[in-house]
Amino acid sequence: MNFFLETIKVLLLSIWYNVESFIHLFVPKKKKNIAGEVVLITGAGSGIGRLMAQEFAARGTVLVLWDINQEGMKETARLAKNGGASRVHYYLCDCSDKNEVYRVADQVKREVGDVSILVNNAGIVTGKKFMDAPDSLIEKTMEVNTMAHFWTYKAFLPAMIANNHGHLVSIASSAGLIGVNGLADYCASKFAAVGFAESVGLELLAIGKDGVKTTIVCPYFINTGMFDGCQTKWPRLMPILDPDYVAKKIINAVLTDQVYLLLPKSMYLITAFKNILPMKQGILLGQYLGAFSLMDKFKGRALKQE
Ligand SMILES: NC(=O)c1ccc[n+]([C@@H]2O[C@H](COP(=O)([O-])OP(=O)(O)OC[C@H]3O[C@@H](n4cnc5c(N)ncnc54)[C@H](O)[C@@H]3O)[C@@H](O)[C@H]2O)c1
């Protein structure tokens, strides 16, 4: 195709994609049917993982739950069974350990079958200034929040590619799009998770496997306990999110093959501003939005349990 024709084609398609996107602001997208799909959720023993399990259960899926918290998983399994899951299987699996991921993944394939929806949700936060964070916790954060995604993809993506069918869901964070004072290792792990999921999504498109979808979720603080103590300066603009609301939005994004889900909606604007405004103005706005003191009163889960 010559330059002129190709340019016209790109211009016309660009206009159409924007019109289509505008229409979908008012007309909801068609939702896909996921009954019978095998959904694996890491970190399913509490928080968003548990709530997503309940949402997936209500759609007649087969659920595979992974966590290091056996009691939490049992409770999620009970709720999911009562909530309509066709089957629920749960496995103790420390996602930070590559060999354990591969071993338990093989067990899942033998006992349940191929996973068609993979939700990388397990996550941890150190909550310390970078120079105060012990090396071991920094390494653990990278292993759970990022490296685990590599190993679960390696384990479950081949079957999705072979069938040209599946969905990869990465529960990242708004801290994977914008750096935060006091969250250096967590931000690094979430930026990496976003870059990884986005890149593999493009790799799949490039090889024509467009039946394997990707959804990347970037929420602000959610009221699950993980970031207990943290405060938001302007709750109307940047509210601490309700976990049920987040889980429902994630399921909706999966059902409509939405690639990026940022929560709350103001995150779309803030992320765009970050990339286009002069640095000094960006810092000014960051201070205005309280981004410099978000972690000042962090307690998190560990300290809460003490
Ligand atoms: N809570 C928030 O404010 C917030 C905001 C943005 C993104 N997120 C992300 O959402 C995800 C879920 O967080 P949440 O708020 O539900 O927290 P949570 O602490 O309730 O859930 C995390 C789960 O991961 C499990 N887990 C931890 N280490 C693990 C490991 N090595 N192997 C397997 N499981 C492990 C925990 O046992 C727990 O059940 C995380 O990835 C988190 O980073 C949370």
Residue 252 covered by a domain: yes
Residue 19 covered by a domain: no
- CA–CA gap between residue 109 and residue 112 (Å, rounded): 6
Give the predicted TM-score (pTM) of the model.
0.96
Cβ-contact 250, 169 below 8 angstroms:
yes
- CA–CA gap between residue 187 and residue 179 (Å, rounded): 6
131 DSSP assignment: G
How confident is the model at residue 300, as a pLDDT?
A: 92
144 DSSP assignment: I
CA-based torsion, 271, 277, 280, 286: positive or negative: negative
Ligand 1 site, residue 221, Cβ cutoff 6 A: yes
Of the listed 186, 220, 260, 288, which one is catalytic? 186
Mean pLDDT by 10 residues, the chain (306 residues): 91 95 92 97 98 97 98 97 94 98 98 98 96 97 98 98 98 97 97 98 98 98 95 89 98 98 95 94 92 92 50
Atom 40 of ligand 1, residue of closest alpha carbon = 123
Residue 3 covered by a domain: no
Single out the residue of 117, 156, 122 nearest to residue 142, CA to CA: 122
CATH code at position 90: 3.40.50.720
Residue 1 covered by a domain: no
Ligand 1 site, residue 101, Cβ cutoff 6 A: no
How confident is the model at residue 52, as a pLDDT?
A: 98
Residue ranges making up the domain that contains 157 = 32-305
Tell me if residue 288 is catalytic: no
Residue 5 covered by a domain: no
Number of CB atoms found within 10 A of residue 164's CB: 13
Count how many domains the chain has: 1
Residue 244 covered by a domain: yes
Residue 6 covered by a domain: no
How confident is the model at residue 301, as a pLDDT?
A: 82
List CB contacts of 165: < 8 A, sequence separation 6 or more: 116, 211, 212
How confident is the model at residue 304, as a pLDDT?
A: 41
Residue 21 covered by a domain: no
- Tell me the CA distances in angstroms from 60 to 43, 53, 81, 125, 243, one per residue in order: 20, 11, 10, 32, 21
